[in-house]
Copies of this chain bind each other. A is one copy, B any other.
């Protein structure tokens, strides 16, 4: 399997584009299902999240297997994932959309932040969310959920393809989150999508400036030929 390392340039661009703009850029390539449903950012003031997906897969718990002593084992996939996620990566957890128990809690999330992870996404719950709401770190979940992981989840695999919030996530895909939610970009498209979304963002900023100034949307959005010229001029002026 080829790998598509995320360049510094692409990462930097993705830091300045919205999940909405990325969704449109991906839709232009026929990708309709790229937004992780129901993943809410706990601290709306956290930094933008950009990084390669590092995945963790849960299946339903079984009472005889999922007891508190399993964490003694350093090979336990949840704990091993926390201690091996590479710098700059985003932990994406397939919790089957089940928020009845936490996918992780404050200590593990803090540890991942300390290790240089770029963020955390689960389609399940998280516990210790009052603390996470104050962390300067992007963490996304479906709902706060105090019950400990083992009550409903069994960690089974690290870094395999998963589903999260109804979206396919392959290890190495580029995961971008803002205060609206989380977009998954197939790894091989990340560079071109980053560039295209940056261009689109310039245009959207131009349009918004004009709308705030009172302009109508006809001929502006989408642009007429005249608008295209005004935009070209605007870009020159702003150096964008």
Contacts and interface: CB of A to CB of B under 8 A. Distances in A.
Nearest to A180: B144
Given A20-B128, A181-B145, A62 B168 contact: yes
Contacts of A127: 19-20, 23, 180
Contacts of A24: 68, 148
B148 A62 contact: no
B218 A83 contact: yes
Contact of A147 (B34, B147, B169): B34
A87 interface: no
Counting chain A residues whose Cβ lies within 8 A of the other chain, the interface size class is 35 or more
Interface string A68-109: 100110100001001100000000000011101010011110
B62 A186 contact: yes
Interface of A: 18-20, 22-24, 27-35, 37-38, 44, 59-65, 68, 71-72, 74, 79, 82-83, 96-98, 100, 102, 105-108, 110-111, 114, 127-130, 133, 143-148, 150-151, 154, 156-157, 160-163, 166-169, 178-181, 183, 186, 204, 207-208, 211-212, 214, 216-218, 221-222
